[in-house]
Structure 1
Amino acid sequence: MKRLAVLSVMAAFFMVLGTGKGAMAWPDNPITIYVGWSAGGSSDVTTRAVAAEMEKKLGTRILVTNVTGALGAIGGTRVAKAPADGYLWFGGAAVLGTWPVMGSSDVSWNDFYAFLSVVFPTTIYVKSDAPWKTLDDLINDIKSKPEGTFKFGSPGPGSNGAIFAGLLLDAAGVGGKVQPVPYKGGREAGRYLLSGDVQFVSVTMGDLADWAAAGRIRPLANLYNKDVTFEGITFPAVTKKYPELEPYMAINPYFGVYLNRATPDDIIIKVAEAFAWAVKQPGFQRIAVKERAGVLAPLMGVASDQQMSKIESARCWALHSLGIAKKDPKEFGIPKITEWKWPPHDRAKNLKPWPQKVEEIYAELAKELGM
């Protein structure tokens, strides 16, 4: 019996050693990222761009799969409910905080560690041969035509495109006169703009910026407080005409990759190191910034949590005011963006903290990038 007891203790000891070795060896298998939107859009492109660099640093393959639907909630919920072993991530727009309000999932931003890389303004585009040269031209034409004459495309209810278009049309006094048409992503909406199915689209700037540069479409308004120039083309700031929309700049999408909040600290630290390295690489910046008109603004640690919370407040209350939200943001303790302060609710107060090492990695990255 004594001999058996000794053997049992030794077996347990070696099992612990083996477990430790396995944790230290992460990643020793390929990583999979579920992108919640269709191929070709900003969520897809930015995720693949950062993953291509991160896999060099991590020394393993990162496989990207599109799992579309419910504004990313289908793929994101699978990640949140999967084992938190670091091998399954979510990728795309930072709209996770809208899922409960939209009735899409019981999962929200606080269930993840968010590694945010770039931010894009939201843009109203028309075809290059359309008669509207300015936003005023478009609005005045909408006012002069019967209800239902105009249609606009977006990546779907709850997207930044749908929110911006709804807010803009209301501010212009034509809310309800234009029929919204949902698509599975900004790129798909753009294809239907070119085919003439819709008169304009409201999408993330980077979704179609290359088409604007090629002269196929024209930007009329950008949800930003100053004009943005890309490839010699001016994207006019909507706040010049509608200053009341400036607070809603918080709906502009950040993009990133997200890991289950229960993931062990040692894995999160390795991910943070790889992420900080990846966003500095010319390959990532060429694709996400130079080609897609993104603004490099990486976030991790508490700064990332705060940004995710601001996005939650701005988007959820906009969705509620537009009648798109299925549930009242008050049910989830979400403050309006004009009343936001950190921490905004109990979910934020009770977050599992980021490893201190990640905060140090972020501080060094921010200093290096002059943020």
Structure 2
Amino acid sequence: MKKLTTALLAAAAMTSVSAGIAFAQADYPTSPVTIVVPFAAGGPTDTVTRLIAEPMSAELGQQVIVQNVAGAGGTLAGTQVANAPADGYQILMHHIGMSTAPTLYPDLAYNPLEDFEMIGLVTNVPMTVIARKDFEPNTFEELVTYVQENADSVTYANAGIGAASHLCGLLFMSAIDTQVTTVPYQGTGPAMTDLLGGQVDFMCDQTTNTTGQITSGEVKGYAVTTPDRLDALPDLPTTAEAGLEEFQVGVWHGLYAPAGTPPEVIEKLTAALQTALQDENVITRFAELGTVPVSLEEATPEAHEAYLAEQIDLWAPIIEAAGEMAQ
């Protein structure tokens, strides 16, 4: 009888715990949610995150806080969230670097496809090829020729290994079969500062970080890396128009939660993301920055996971051919 009573008490306790967990999931969130950004405040990924944070807060009924954890090409933030409690209170916003990290970092502390639950894609930001305003080439075609003829003296700035500007540079140099001197910085801000100051020749970066400088004439704009011209930069030709069809790249962003986060929590986060992507202010501000929200079909865990796997396969041979793995 005593054993039966003990067993019944244990079962009741387990039922109570399960019910408590289920209730907590159903009641999620009951406190602020943090979106970890792998790069410094003020950069393109930070800008995208802060724009969606407010409408996500309204949908979730809790404040969405943005935390910047910069370093190691975004892998510090990735490691932090991969090891965070799987309860939906700490999630990650990352860009294309999530698909290149497995090849760039042989000792990566996480597997992007196994150590995270996908929440949904957010946006695909076009890239622009820009240069210091007094750089000799005046068109994209002239830039390609100039770089090929002066490869030993030309300098290309990027925001560090794994940054969007680094990846865009790899693809550009692969497309024109020419290697130039690269100058890595600790973030987009310092790279842009030196470009504006004329210390480096050219770079490639997201429209969220370059549109203002191009339209103001602070830098020389050459092309956009998209199939079509952008409304925000109508005078810039596409790289395909300029004769380099194989040089097309966009910097997509997605939201991630730690592996094991309950489906009910992921569902709520995905719903909040989709609400944010339909917000008029988000749509307007994205347009001003030269991008648009993804479709609601793309802002889902299923579409996100499929796209991430596809992008990992796309970038691996390009990075390996360039031999630019982090040590």
User: TM-score with structure 1 length normalisation?
Assistant: 0.78
Q: For residues 243 and 133 of structure 1, what CA distance do their matches in structure 2 show? A: 16
Q: Taking structure 1 as reference, are residues 210 and 108 closer, same or farther at Cα in structure 2, changes over 3 Å only?
A: farther
C-alpha displacement at 1:146, in angstroms?
7.0
Q: Taking structure 1 as reference, are residues 105 and 304 closer, same or farther at Cα in structure 2, changes over 3 Å only?
A: same
For the 8 Å contact 1:35–1:68, the answer to whether it is kept is: yes
Q: For residues 98 and 4 of structure 1, what CA distance do their matches in structure 2 show? A: 56
Among candidates 282, 288, 292, match of residue 289 of structure 2: 292
Q: For residues 277 and 237 of structure 1, what CA distance do their matches in structure 2 show? A: 31
Aligned to 1:60: 62
Q: For residues 291 and 185 of structure 1, what CA distance do their matches in structure 2 show? A: 22
C-alpha displacement at 1:42, in angstroms?
1.4
- Residues 180-219 of structure 1: matches in 2 within 5 Å? 180-219=182-221
Whether 1:266 aligns to 2:264 is yes
Among candidates 146, 149, 155, match of residue 141 of structure 1: 146
Q: Taking structure 1 as reference, are residues 294 and 309 closer, same or farther at Cα in structure 2, changes over 3 Å only?
A: same
C-alpha displacement at 1:179, in angstroms?
1.2
Q: Which amino acid aligns with 2:57?
A: E
Aligned to 1:99: 101
Count of residue correspondences: 319
Q: Taking structure 1 as reference, are residues 53 and 69 closer, same or farther at Cα in structure 2, changes over 3 Å only?
A: same
Whether 1:276 aligns to 2:270 is no
Q: For residues 12 and 170 of structure 1, what CA distance do their matches in structure 2 show? A: 58
C-alpha displacement at 1:326, in angstroms?
5.7
For the 8 Å contact 1:46–1:92, the answer to whether it is kept is: no
- For residues 81-123 of structure 1, what are the alpha-carbon distances to aligned partners after superposition, in whole Å with 9 as ceiling and x for unaligned? 2221111111131321222211251423313214211111222
Greater relative CO, 1 or 2 (CA 8 Å, sep 6+):
2
Q: For residues 155 and 24 of structure 1, what CA distance do their matches in structure 2 show? A: 41
- Residues 201-240 of structure 1: matches in 2 within 5 Å? 201-230=203-232, 233-240=234-241
Q: Which amino acid aligns with 1:152?
A: Y
Q: For residues 81 and 194 of structure 1, what CA distance do their matches in structure 2 show? A: 39
Aligned to 2:23: 21
For the 8 Å contact 1:151–1:198, the answer to whether it is kept is: yes
For the 8 Å contact 1:135–1:221, the answer to whether it is kept is: yes
- Residue segments in structure 1 that go unaligned for 5+ positions in a row: 328-371
- Residues 1-371 of structure 1: matches in 2 within 5 Å? 2=2, 5=6, 10-103=12-105, 105-110=108-113, 111-112=115-116, 113-145=118-150, 147=152, 149-173=153-177, 175-176=178-179, 178-230=180-232, 233-243=234-244, 245-246=246-247, 249=248, 251-287=249-285, 289-298=286-295, 299=298, 300-325=300-325
Q: For residues 108 and 99 of structure 1, what CA distance do their matches in structure 2 show? A: 9
SS in 1 for 2:39: coil
Choose 127-136 or 46-55, whichever is displaced more. 127-136
Q: Taking structure 1 as reference, are residues 143 and 317 closer, same or farther at Cα in structure 2, changes over 3 Å only?
A: closer
Q: For residues 12 and 244 of structure 1, what CA distance do their matches in structure 2 show? A: 60
Q: For residues 8 and 305 of structure 1, what CA distance do their matches in structure 2 show? A: 39
Q: For residues 143 and 101 of structure 1, what CA distance do their matches in structure 2 show? A: 27
- Residue segments in structure 2 that go unaligned for 5+ positions in a row: none
C-alpha displacement at 1:145, in angstroms?
4.1
Q: For residues 161 and 141 of structure 1, what CA distance do their matches in structure 2 show? A: 20
For the 8 Å contact 1:222–1:237, the answer to whether it is kept is: yes
Q: Which amino acid aligns with 1:128?
A: K
Q: Taking structure 1 as reference, are residues 14 and 253 closer, same or farther at Cα in structure 2, changes over 3 Å only?
A: same
For the 8 Å contact 1:158–1:325, the answer to whether it is kept is: no
C-alpha displacement at 1:159, in angstroms?
3.2
Q: For residues 255 and 12 of structure 1, what CA distance do their matches in structure 2 show? A: 40
- For residues 26-63 of structure 1, what are the alpha-carbon distances to aligned partners after superposition, in whole Å with 9 as ceiling and x for unaligned? 11111112100121121111111112210110011111
Q: For residues 163 and 135 of structure 2, what CA distance do their matches in structure 1 show? A: 25
User: TM-score with structure 2 length normalisation?
Assistant: 0.87
C-alpha displacement at 1:233, in angstroms?
4.0
Q: For residues 93 and 301 of structure 2, what CA distance do their matches in structure 1 show? A: 17
